[in-house]
Amino acid sequence: MSQNEDCRELRQEILRLLQAQMHALAEPSRLSDVELAACYRRQERVGELRDQLFIALKPKEALEPECGDLSSAPIPSATSGGPAIQAAVGM
């Protein structure tokens, strides 16, 4: 499969997941625990696909991160257990 086809498929999967998120979050008060967990899994999967797409689109010589360039900085997932999540859980 060509790089363009791979990128197109990654974008389509991201859009499908985001549409599912928008549908699920249309009425957040009606979300069950199971549906909320599915939202978190979709959110994590979108992040993974976004990273794959970024790598696929980025030339190899540009993979070295530049100082101060936050445009490609990873967004921590809600399940990573970072300090903010730990602080919120400890409240």
Say if CB 52 and CB 13 are below 8 A apart: no
Residue 85 pLDDT class (50, 70, 90 cuts): very low
For the stretch 18-62, pLDDT in tens is 999 999 999 888 889 999 999 999 999 999 999 999 999 887 655
Q: pLDDT tens digits for 4-18? A: 889 999 999 999 999
Q: CA-CA distance, 17 to 21, in Å (whole number)?
A: 6
User: What letter would DSSP give residue 64?
Assistant: S
Contact yes or no for 72/79 (Cβ under 8 A): no
Residue 79: strand, helix, or coil: coil
Model confidence over 51-71: pLDDT tens digits?
999 999 887 655 555 545 555
Instruction: Specify the pLDDT at position 2.
Output: 80
| Other residues' Cβ atoms within 10 Å of the Cβ of residue 10 | 20
Q: What does the alpha-carbon distance between residue 6 and residue 13 come to, in Å, rounded to a whole number?
A: 11
